[in-house]
A = this chain, B = another copy of it.
Amino acid sequence: MAATYELIYWPGAPGRGEHIRLALEEAGASYSDTARLDAQKCADIVWAQMSDNNLGDKNTSPPYAPPILKDGDLLISQTPNILMYLGQRLGLVPSTPEENDIYKINALVLTALDGLSNEVHDCHHPIAKELYYEEQKTEALRRSKEFIKTRLPKFLAYFEKVLKGEASGNGPWLYGGTFTYADLVLFQICLFQPQTDSQNLASSVYRKRDGVREKS
Contacts and interface: CB of A to CB of B under 8 A. Distances in A.
A110 B78 CA distance: 7
A96 to B, nearest CB: 14
A167 B103 contact: no
A60 B165 CA distance: 8
* Number of copies of this protein chain within its complex: 2
A162 B61 CA distance: 6
Interface residues of A, number: 56
Interface string A69-85: 00000101110110011
A83 B98 CA distance: 19
A52 B165 CA distance: 11
A193 interface: no
Instruction: Identify the interface centre among A64, A128, A142: most chain B CB within 10 Å of its CB.
Output: A64
